[in-house]
A = this chain, B = another copy of it.
Amino acid sequence: MDRPVNRPYLTTRSLTPENQESPVHFLNEYTTRVKYLFRRNHFSYPSYMKIPGSAHISGDVLQPLIFTFKDLLQMPLKEINFTLECAGNGRSFFEPGVYGEQWKNGAVSHGRWRGVPLRILLEYTGLKDSAQEIVFTGADFGKKIGENSKLFARSLPLKKALHEDTMIACIYEGNPVPYKNGGPLRLIVPQWYGMASVKWLTNINVINRQFHGPFQTEDYVYYPANEAEISPFPVTTINIKSIIQKPQDYAILSLGPHYIQGLAWSGKGNIESVQVSTDKGKTWSEADLGRTSNIYAWVPWRYLWDTAEPGEYTIYSRAKDSEGRQQPMTPFWNKKGYGYNAAAKHHIKIENKKA
């Protein structure tokens, strides 16, 4: 041992249930390794011994189906490299503050998930004409305050459920989906916030009506500050967002050139540009974008900042996507703190050589 390798750790937000944040500012890798995947739980982990390792498709189908992890491995698997972001990511940045897990930027991950598109599985079962929504239920359960114990369940409209990239994943980065991240079987819904990608999937129920479970009628709803002006609406698509990885907020740097670098992603279209401002948002410059494999991937970006004067700076980054969406300078404040995506803002001090 000469100099030790310094490695980052997950940032612990809570342990009962376990909520831990990825050290996203310290990851240069394209892929988020398993030990750095954020962990987000509503309840205690389901008992490992009680997860069946299979899922049941039933309801308004012509023929029900049970499939196992091994069944999926014998089907043609699709691999999708995508950005998975928790709807509460960035909650701690809202002003005024919002109650709930105080996520900073690290409730997000990026990597290759492999599985079978749901619509392939539904070819085996068929759908009745009455089918309207599909409800996905996980093995995790618990009580919300003042309620009875319930399993975690959410629905998708038929169109999203049948999208070619909505899939039942069984493999993450070449290995079985980790238990703490929803394995053995996890629903994957690219471009939607993470609550849609139901973990420990056990039941897929096709229904002929709208589903009104609490995880889409109470939680994961945008409640604006003034509900008289804007009605509450459900959390679905990931907002366009960039984050700054380096330099860190309140860093002290020497005079001279420094890279400002980070990541950008969107739940709609491609990232078309990331702009950086080093003068509190007065002027903006284009950052260089890295390559991406597909529309769901996050994009690394960087900008060479040649600091000319010592002093205190406020730097920003903001992304634009091919759907014309741009990060706003102020976030859409909402009572439960979802979808934070204001332009990233760091305070930097540049120090000169001492006299």
The interface of chain A, by Cβ under 8 A from chain B, is 1-4, 6-18, 20, 23, 25-26, 44-45, 47-49, 92, 97-100, 102, 145-147, 179-180, 248-252, 254, 312, 347, 349, 351-354
Contacts and interface: CB of A to CB of B under 8 A. Distances in A.
A312 B12 CA distance: 24
Given A146-B352, A146-B353, A352-B146, A347 B97 contact: yes
Nearest to A251: B99
Contacts of A6: 15-18
A251 B252 CA distance: 32
A11 B49 CA distance: 31
B98 A145 contact: no
A20 B15 CA distance: 19
Contacts of A180: 4
Contacts of A44: 3
Contacts of A16: 6
B147 A179 contact: no
28 contacts: A1-B48, A2-B48, A3-B45, A3-B47, A3-B48, A4-B48, A6-B18, A8-B12, A9-B9, A9-B11, A9-B20, A11-B11, A12-B23, A12-B25, A12-B26, A13-B248, A14-B248, A97-B347, A99-B251, A99-B312, A100-B250, A102-B250, A145-B252, A145-B351, A145-B353, A146-B352, A146-B353, A147-B354
A236 to B, nearest CB: 23
A244 B179 CA distance: 32
A243 to B, nearest CB: 15
A227 B180 CA distance: 53
Contacts of A92: 250
Q: Number of copies of this chain in the oligomer?
A: 2
Contacts of A14: 248
A23 B147 CA distance: 31
Give me the 8 closest cross-chain CB pairs, A-B, nearest first: A146-B353, A9-B9, A8-B12, A6-B18, A99-B349, A6-B15, A146-B354, A145-B254
A44 B17 CA distance: 36
A26 B20 contact: no
Nearest to A49: B2
Contacts of A100: 250, 252
Given A14-B248, A146-B352, A45 B99 contact: no
Contacts of A26: 12, 15
Chain B CB within 10 Å — which of A9, A97, A248 has the most?
A9
Chain B CB within 10 Å — which of A44, A145, A146 has the most?
A145
A12 B12 contact: no
Contact of A12 (B9, B146, B354): B9
A15 B4 contact: no
A49 B17 CA distance: 43
A252 B99 CA distance: 6
A352 B145 CA distance: 7
Nearest to A50: B2
Given A9-B11, A99-B312, A102-B250, 6 more contacts: A1-B49, A3-B48, A8-B12, A9-B20, A11-B11, A102-B248
